[in-house]
Chains A and B, each alone.
Chain A
Amino acid sequence: MSYCVNCGVQLDDSAKVCALCGTPVLNPNQPQSDAAEPPYPQTVVLPLEERKRYGAIIASLVMLLPILVCIPINYFITPGEYWSVYVAATLILLWIYFVTPFLIRRKLPHSPYISLVLDGVITAAYIYVMYHYNSSGSWFLRIALPMIGAFVVLGCILIRYLTKNKKAPSIRKIAYALVMVALYAAATEFIFLISMPNLIVDCAALSIFFTTAVLAIFLRFASDSKRFRAWLSRKFFM
């Protein structure tokens, strides 16, 4: 029979520390015996994971139906036109965006990267379909593809930062995300400059770059410097 020296409560014979305050149990008259059985079993039985995959599979089948209906109709009734391609492309795009995250196992390493790269690939493919049937010129190779590539790369860097620094203050995470937005804006500006030097877009991307960059530097500084935060609260109290 031991008591917690800190709380004054009587403890179970099997207790090695006080359940309330964590103080170790040291009773010289009654050395700790492993024979005493704990009041509750030590095995933790976790319930089965929720079966979201079933829902995802059903959603996949539902999305497959219009494709299966449209393609034969297109082929037999209106040959020569390609309208069913849009239906199929759109549904596949939506399927990759919204259903595959539930089909990929969460515990799989790099699952967010896989999702993002898949999203990038399918977006590029979707835009290529639109480009192939509707448009001419070389904008797909020179603008769309580099922009999607930049988006995926920057997104992967952001995911890596967020997963490696889970305990970072949220201000710093926001600052990092803003840096990525700034970099993306800069990349866009650069891509347009290289591939379409004659197109005048009034530096729209550059203005985004400067705004987000300044905001990111400000937030980063605010999250790092205690003195700066103190100064801010002193100056802007209401």
Chain B
Amino acid sequence: MSNGKKEKQWADKPWFRLDNAALIFPGQNSEQWSNVIRISVDLTITIEPEKLKQALCDILPRFPTMAVQLKNGFFWYYFEKNDNEPIIRPDSNNQGVRIKYHENNRFLFRVFYYRNRIALEAFHALTDGYGCAVFLSTLAAQYLRLCGHAVSCGGMVLDIKEAPKPEELEDSFIRNATPGATLPRGTHDVYHKAGIPLPAHTFHIITGHMPVDRVKQRAGERGATVTEYFTAVLLKIYLDFQRQEAGKQKEVVIQVPVNGRNVFDSKTLRNMSVCYTVGIDPKLGEYTFEELVRQTSLWLRYVNNKKTLGAMFNSNVQLQTSPLLRAIPLFIKDFGIRLSFHFTAEKTNTALFTNLGVIRLPEDMQPFVEGYIFMPSVGKLNGGRMGAVSCGNTLSVTVADRYRETDVEREFFRFLIRDGIPVKIISNFT
């Protein structure tokens, strides 16, 4: 597809396709399980709803991929421009509840406010964590401007006076997939920590704030990055849980989404992340924490390259390129996706750890920002799914859990305390 043709599509067409990663999310969306990611920013000033709504209306034209509604075609879902008025509402205790397409003026994202916090919950089909962070940062910057503060653009704050750029709206999966290359997917059953589910639509959200430099130091002492370190901690606590339960010892697999933008130099604001998995088989013997960190960091560094990513993209893109699959009507596709999610997806992962990385803000905005919190979608089988984000010198790790028990969270944060990292906990259940 030539560049000119692409630009024409974005400028003139009132509808566009879902990106490759987004294709599966409407199919697996259900009352119990929909992929909603939440990111919130704490400012130093109290939020006034009228100004926030104005700010949201101001920035929406800059994000054509967010101001959309989901429609059914015969073969595929598609996005259509949504001209309705966006809604903002006070935050609630239960976050990340399922998305229904007809609610919320047909927007697939929700904006909340509470005290000094602005929160964004978005359906994963719209964008991934990075896209959400950019949208929220731009919203917060515009809000600050409406409050009379001079905030410039840069980093994750986009200039809302600019027109949307074609490279921000592209489907980077298709462009960067390596034709012909495929990678096998994990399909075997792995360990899951069981628990008593909370009532429907209520979740445990526990966030631990910790200093970035200390975490980096503790990880660096073991020759690992922050993501590798946390993944190893998760592996360790799940292996310990499984050993205590003394049942059949299954593999423990942690899913680690990786942002493909850094590798492929993509600037898209739509989905551009795929998941690596790190697995440890306890049948091979008992691993010390140092061994786990080494295994994790070696494995993630081994797989994290253009070749592997390109092959992973291509495995996913085949759904869109295969003529046979394309010709299947949508309702059968949906059923197939639902079925495949039931038998693979979370069945093949014990937990998820996603690190959004550093939030880059312009210099003059930083004094107004206290911190960010990033919460991945709540799992159906996975007890705790963790999301990390760092802003300034604060790293926030949030665990979203649908179980009554908080064993995973407790062991995770206690391990960090024992390892010399001070943690401050906030939760919605106190």
Which residues of A line the B interface, CB within 8 A? 4, 7-12, 14-21, 37-48, 50
B417–A41 contact, CB under 8 A? no
B93–A44 contact, CB under 8 A? yes
Smallest CB gap from B93: residue in A: A44
Specify which of A12, A43, A45, A50 is in contact with B425 (CB 8 Å cutoff): A12
Cross-chain pairs A/B with CB under 8 angstroms, 27 sampled: A7-B414, A8-B417, A9-B208, A9-B423, A10-B424, A12-B424, A12-B427, A14-B430, A15-B427, A19-B406, A19-B425, A19-B429, A19-B430, A20-B413, A20-B414, A39-B426, A41-B90, A43-B90, A43-B92, A43-B93, A44-B93, A44-B202, A46-B97, A46-B200, A46-B201, A47-B100, A50-B31
- Tally B residues with Cβ within 8 Å of A: 36
A20–B425 contact, CB under 8 A? yes
Q: Contacts of A46 on B, CB cut-off 8 Å?
A: 94, 97, 200-201
Q: Contacts of A47 on B, CB cut-off 8 Å?
A: 97-98, 100, 103, 201
Smallest CB gap from A8: residue in B: B417
Contact with A along B393-424 (1 / 0, CB 8 A): 00000000000001001100110011000111
Q: How far is the CB of B19 from chain A (nearest CB, A)?
A: 26
Chain A CB within 8 A of B306 CB: no
Q: How far is the CB of A41 from chain B (nearest CB, A)?
A: 5
Q: How far is the CB of B377 from chain A (nearest CB, A)?
A: 15
Q: Contacts of B426 on A, CB cut-off 8 Å?
A: 12, 15, 19, 39-40
Chain B interface, DSSP helix/strand/loop, else mixed? loop
Q: Contacts of A15 on B, CB cut-off 8 Å?
A: 425-427, 430
Known A16-B430, A19-B430, A47-B201: A9·B424 in contact at CB below 8 Å: yes
- How many pairs, one residue from A and one from B, have CB atoms within 8 Å of each other in the complex? 92
Q: How far is the CB of B400 from chain A (nearest CB, A)?
A: 13
Chain A CB within 8 A of B44 CB: no
Known A10-B422, A45-B94, A47-B201: A40·B31 in contact at CB below 8 Å: no
Which residues of B line the A interface, CB within 8 A? 31, 90-95, 97-98, 100, 103, 114-115, 200-202, 205-208, 406, 409-410, 413-414, 417-418, 422-430
Contacts A8-B414, A19-B429 known; 20 new A-B pairs at CB < 8 A: A7-B413, A9-B417, A10-B423, A11-B424, A12-B426, A15-B427, A19-B430, A20-B206, A20-B425, A21-B406, A39-B207, A39-B428, A40-B93, A40-B205, A40-B427, A43-B93, A44-B92, A45-B94, A47-B98, A50-B31
B430–A38 contact, CB under 8 A? yes
Q: Contacts of A38 on B, CB cut-off 8 Å?
A: 430
B425–A10 contact, CB under 8 A? yes
Q: Contacts of A48 on B, CB cut-off 8 Å?
A: 103
Smallest CB gap from A48: residue in B: B103
Q: Contacts of B414 on A, CB cut-off 8 Å?
A: 7-9, 20
Q: Contacts of B427 on A, CB cut-off 8 Å?
A: 12, 15, 19, 39-40
Smallest CB gap from B112: residue in A: A41
Smallest CB gap from B204: residue in A: A19
Q: Contacts of A16 on B, CB cut-off 8 Å?
A: 430
**In whole angstroms, how far apart are the Cα atoms of A8 and B412 in the complex?**
12
**In whole angstroms, how far apart are the Cα atoms of A11 and B201 in the complex?**
25
Q: Contacts of A4 on B, CB cut-off 8 Å?
A: 425
A41–B93 contact, CB under 8 A? yes
Q: How far is the CB of B125 from chain A (nearest CB, A)?
A: 18
B94–A44 contact, CB under 8 A? yes
Specify which of A7, A12, A37, A42 is in contact with B93 (CB 8 Å cutoff): A42
Q: Contacts of A8 on B, CB cut-off 8 Å?
A: 414, 417-418
A20–B201 contact, CB under 8 A? no
B430–A17 contact, CB under 8 A? yes
Q: Contacts of B93 on A, CB cut-off 8 Å?
A: 40-45
Smallest CB gap from A14: residue in B: B430
Smallest CB gap from A11: residue in B: B425
Q: Contacts of B425 on A, CB cut-off 8 Å?
A: 4, 9-12, 15, 18-20
A40–B114 contact, CB under 8 A? yes
Smallest CB gap from A12: residue in B: B426
B410–A7 contact, CB under 8 A? yes
3 residue pairs, one from A and one from B, having the closest CB atoms: A19-B427, A45-B92, A39-B426
**In whole angstroms, how far apart are the Cα atoms of A42 and B95 in the complex?**
11
**In whole angstroms, how far apart are the Cα atoms of A38 and B424 in the complex?**
14
Q: How far is the CB of B129 from chain A (nearest CB, A)?
A: 20
Q: Contacts of B424 on A, CB cut-off 8 Å?
A: 9-12
B92–A41 contact, CB under 8 A? yes
Q: Which of B95, B205, B424 has the most CB of A within 10 A?
A: B424
B430–A12 contact, CB under 8 A? yes
Specify which of B114, B410, B418 is in contact with A20 (CB 8 Å cutoff): B410
Q: Contacts of B205 on A, CB cut-off 8 Å?
A: 40
**In whole angstroms, how far apart are the Cα atoms of A39 and B429 in the complex?**
10
Smallest CB gap from A25: residue in B: B430
Q: Contacts of B406 on A, CB cut-off 8 Å?
A: 19-21
Q: Contacts of A12 on B, CB cut-off 8 Å?
A: 424-427, 430
Q: Contacts of A50 on B, CB cut-off 8 Å?
A: 31
Smallest CB gap from B115: residue in A: A37
Smallest CB gap from A7: residue in B: B414
Smallest CB gap from B95: residue in A: A40
**In whole angstroms, how far apart are the Cα atoms of A18 and B406 in the complex?**
11
Smallest CB gap from B412: residue in A: A20
**In whole angstroms, how far apart are the Cα atoms of A38 and B115 in the complex?**
10
**In whole angstroms, how far apart are the Cα atoms of A16 and B427 in the complex?**
11
Smallest CB gap from A21: residue in B: B410
Q: How far is the CB of A25 from chain B (nearest CB, A)?
A: 9
**In whole angstroms, how far apart are the Cα atoms of A4 and B422 in the complex?**
12
**In whole angstroms, how far apart are the Cα atoms of A15 and B414 in the complex?**
18
Q: Contacts of A9 on B, CB cut-off 8 Å?
A: 208, 413-414, 417, 423-425
Q: How far is the CB of A34 from chain B (nearest CB, A)?
A: 13
B92–A19 contact, CB under 8 A? no
**In whole angstroms, how far apart are the Cα atoms of A50 and B34 in the complex?**
14
B430–A7 contact, CB under 8 A? no
Q: Contacts of B97 on A, CB cut-off 8 Å?
A: 46-47
**In whole angstroms, how far apart are the Cα atoms of A15 and B114 in the complex?**
18
A40–B91 contact, CB under 8 A? yes
